[in-house]
Chains A and B, each alone.
Chain A
Amino acid sequence: MGHSIPTIWESMQAKGYDRREFLRFCSFAAMMAGIETAGFSKVVHALETQARPPVVWLHFQECTCCSESFIRSSHPLVADVLLDSISLDYSETLQAAAGHQAEKSLHDTMQKFAGKYILLVEGSIPTHDGGVYCTIGGRTAEDILQEAAKDAAAVIAWGSCASHGCVQSAKPNPTGATPVHKLISKPVINVPGCPPIADVMTGVITHLLVLGSAPELDGLGRPKEFYSRRVHDTCYRRPYYDAGLFVESFDDEKARKGYCLYKMGCRGPVTYNACSVTKWNGATSYPIQSGHGCIGCSEAGFWDNGPLYQHLASFPGFGIESTADNVGALVGIAALGGMAVHAVSTNVRKHELLVQGKHSEPKAKE
């Protein structure tokens, strides 16, 4: 093939995959792209002859933290990913060119590799007021997304912004921030988290490229490989949870012993993510290990499930500290009061009936 960098096909051969498996991988890529069988051979050809699959990384409404997380990957190292595994043809965070030259890089890739490039999206897309809340090169985010998604072989939504809308979509969602999968008709691999774990991000990409198979997705488009367990299911503080040993306040005696953070509002029991297994920053720690509860950052709409330090969300319309329990107890007390009033009233109103035994005979139902 004349390339000194192995093509995907070559590196798969080297890893012992046969041609059938390679084709299965290609068929996945084609499936992701929604390409008909006729166009399918093109994808095979693309991956066979292209040293590194072209990748386009778009930024919309985001904080670039997903990119920052990505470059923290420890296995594989990002430098290796960038030099050896993919060809990152467009990335506003890293690319040398700016302005027209940057846009040219994008268009070159979209044209030359139509149906063959991988599209990564970081950030949500504002849909209110014609999309004026995010423009690049004078065009709206949605316009750019639609164009780039049209011929993409696969689309990955990085982080909670692109998967769920994240912080800017929290009430009242002033800009109409919308996740990718709601705007394009292709299947989208959602990799939520605010941000997602670096090694999960490179894990998803390399799963696609190296294993030659689609990561299996759940009903919400998340790779099961990383999102099928709750943080709580493998949390190392779980024994304290089962034993009923809970932190009652930050830095109290129980916190200092590392008890379970459930009562501090930990969202681990309702959050699907790999934190407690893969952990963060080269397996150094994860939120709970460092004393703060999980805030549920990979779950849709987690910003509106607050306050953070409360186990359940505030009851709408009842002030910040009101849990369902406070409201429930209040209504319960009101009901008891009502019953007391009713009991008194019964004895007064129905005094004759009761004491004087003046039963006029009841009417039959039928």
Chain B
Amino acid sequence: MATKAFVAQASQPEKFRRVYVWEFPVRLYHWVNALCVVVLCVTGYLIGRPLAITYSSEAYQQYWFGTVRFLHFVTAFVFFFNFLVRLYWGFVGNQYAKWSNFIPNHRAQWREMIEVMKVDVLQTRVQGLITLGHNALAGLIYFLSFLAFLFQSLTGFALYSSMSQARLPRLFAWITPLMGGDFAVRQWHHIFMWFFIWFTLVHVYLVFYHDYIEGRGTTSSMVGGWKFDSDKRDEK
């Protein structure tokens, strides 16, 4: 794969140069998505297990549960369209945004995954390969998370279809009988929330881990788009 990275001239550490990895749409997508997921998990959890709140007021005086649900639904729409944008960008974005990063259809990607397992997860090897974009294992996990996004959107809109007259949710009505009724759809929709929670925990930890180990600004890369890369690598 040819490297099309921009090489920045300023503020460059001795051995590293700046590489523009995450294009603006990817970064925007990422943070909108991150925010949506957090909001959806919190509101979703509350929908599933409402708080026991005090009841000094009458029902007509408050609407907090309705508001929580409203937030969930509004966020759901943002989440869904944001997700569609990212799907599109997988076709037109730079090499780090492309679908080929996510779907392990080369033997090399599988070999890389084993290597990442050895170096980063099991730590049977102290150091090893460092990639600019996602490593193959991360790519696969992101791919799975895209599938989870899709699943969550399908089940969410299927549930929403029976309480909405809007056209979009109605498009998903067929999913409910397919999955055996609203109860089952809700159960799965709820269970998948946990995937997002686990994903976020591990994901954020790993971002910090890579930053710590590699010292090349992994965390901030999703803000500014730049990562650091070693010149020596190119020399090799």
Q: Are A and B in contact, CB atoms below 8 Å, in the complex?
A: yes
List the interface of chain A (C-beta within 8 A of B): 219-220, 230, 233, 239-246, 248, 253-254, 257, 259, 262-263, 267, 269-272, 296, 299-302, 305, 311-313, 324-325, 327-328, 331-332, 335-336, 339, 342-343, 345-346, 349-350, 352-354, 359-366
List the interface of chain B (C-beta within 8 A of A): 1, 3, 45, 48-53, 55, 57-66, 68-69, 112, 121, 123, 126-132, 162-163, 173-174, 177, 180-187, 190-191, 193-194, 197-198, 201-202, 205, 209, 212-214, 230, 232-234, 236
Taking CB atoms, residues of chain A closer than 8 Å to B51 are 244
A-B contact pairs, 24 of them (CB 8 A): A219-B174, A243-B59, A243-B60, A243-B66, A244-B62, A253-B55, A270-B186, A311-B48, A324-B187, A325-B49, A327-B194, A328-B193, A332-B201, A336-B201, A339-B205, A342-B209, A346-B209, A346-B212, A346-B213, A352-B126, A359-B127, A360-B127, A364-B236, A365-B131
Shortest distance from the beta carbon of A188 to any chain B beta carbon, whole Å: 15
Q: Are the C-beta atoms of A361 and B230 separated by less than 8 Å? A: yes
With A244-B65, A364-B234, A364-B236 known to touch, is A299 a contact of B59 (CB < 8 Å)?
no
Taking CB atoms, residues of chain B closer than 8 Å to A313 are 183, 187
**Distance between Cα atoms of A327 and B194 in the complex (Å):** 9
Q: Are the C-beta atoms of A242 and B197 separated by less than 8 Å? A: no
Secondary structure type dominating chain B contacts: helix
Taking CB atoms, residues of chain B closer than 8 Å to A257 are 55
Q: Are the C-beta atoms of B213 and A354 separated by less than 8 Å? A: yes
Taking CB atoms, residues of chain A closer than 8 Å to B64 are 243-244
With A243-B59, A346-B209, A353-B213 known to touch, is A328 a contact of B52 (CB < 8 Å)?
no
Nearest to A232 among chain B residues (CB) is: B163
Shortest distance from the beta carbon of A110 to any chain B beta carbon, whole Å: 33
Q: Are the C-beta atoms of A331 and B123 separated by less than 8 Å? A: no
Q: Are the C-beta atoms of A270 and B59 separated by less than 8 Å? A: no
**Distance between Cα atoms of A254 and B174 in the complex (Å):** 37
Shortest distance from the beta carbon of B17 to any chain A beta carbon, whole Å: 13
Taking CB atoms, residues of chain A closer than 8 Å to B3 are 366
Shortest distance from the beta carbon of B117 to any chain A beta carbon, whole Å: 13
Q: Are the C-beta atoms of B205 and A365 separated by less than 8 Å? A: no
Q: Are the C-beta atoms of B182 and A271 separated by less than 8 Å? A: yes
Shortest distance from the beta carbon of B35 to any chain A beta carbon, whole Å: 20
Taking CB atoms, residues of chain A closer than 8 Å to B162 are 230, 233, 272
Q: Are the C-beta atoms of B63 and A243 separated by less than 8 Å? A: yes
Taking CB atoms, residues of chain A closer than 8 Å to B45 are 325
**Distance between Cα atoms of A324 and B191 in the complex (Å):** 6
Taking CB atoms, residues of chain B closer than 8 Å to A363 are 128-130, 233, 236
Q: Are the C-beta atoms of A362 and B130 separated by less than 8 Å? A: yes
Nearest to A330 among chain B residues (CB) is: B194
**Distance between Cα atoms of A220 and B57 in the complex (Å):** 41
Shortest distance from the beta carbon of A288 to any chain B beta carbon, whole Å: 15
Contact of B50 among A263, A272, A361 (CB under 8 A): A263
Q: Are the C-beta atoms of A239 and B59 separated by less than 8 Å? A: yes
Q: Are the C-beta atoms of A332 and B181 separated by less than 8 Å? A: no
What 6 A-B pairs have minimum CB-CB distances, sorted nearest first? A244-B65, A328-B194, A270-B182, A242-B66, A362-B130, A364-B233
Taking CB atoms, residues of chain B closer than 8 Å to A240 are 59
Shortest distance from the beta carbon of A236 to any chain B beta carbon, whole Å: 11
**Distance between Cα atoms of A272 and B159 in the complex (Å):** 13
**Distance between Cα atoms of A271 and B186 in the complex (Å):** 12
With A241-B65, A296-B183 known to touch, is A312 a contact of B190 (CB < 8 Å)?
yes
Q: Are the C-beta atoms of A244 and B50 separated by less than 8 Å? A: yes
**Distance between Cα atoms of A51 and B60 in the complex (Å):** 54
**Distance between Cα atoms of A300 and B190 in the complex (Å):** 20
Q: Are the C-beta atoms of B129 and A302 separated by less than 8 Å? A: no
Nearest to A352 among chain B residues (CB) is: B126
Contact of A312 among B55, B60, B182, B187 (CB under 8 A): B187
Q: Are the C-beta atoms of B209 and A362 separated by less than 8 Å? A: no
Taking CB atoms, residues of chain A closer than 8 Å to B55 are 245, 253-254, 257, 259
Q: Are the C-beta atoms of A219 and B177 separated by less than 8 Å? A: yes
**Distance between Cα atoms of A301 and B3 in the complex (Å):** 55
Taking CB atoms, residues of chain A closer than 8 Å to B126 are 349-350, 352-353
**Distance between Cα atoms of A262 and B129 in the complex (Å):** 52
Q: Are the C-beta atoms of B163 and A242 separated by less than 8 Å? A: no
Q: Are the C-beta atoms of B61 and A270 separated by less than 8 Å? A: no
Q: Which of A243, A301, A324, A336 has the most CB of B within 10 A?
A: A243
Taking CB atoms, residues of chain B closer than 8 Å to A365 are 112, 129-132
Nearest to B70 among chain A residues (CB) is: A242
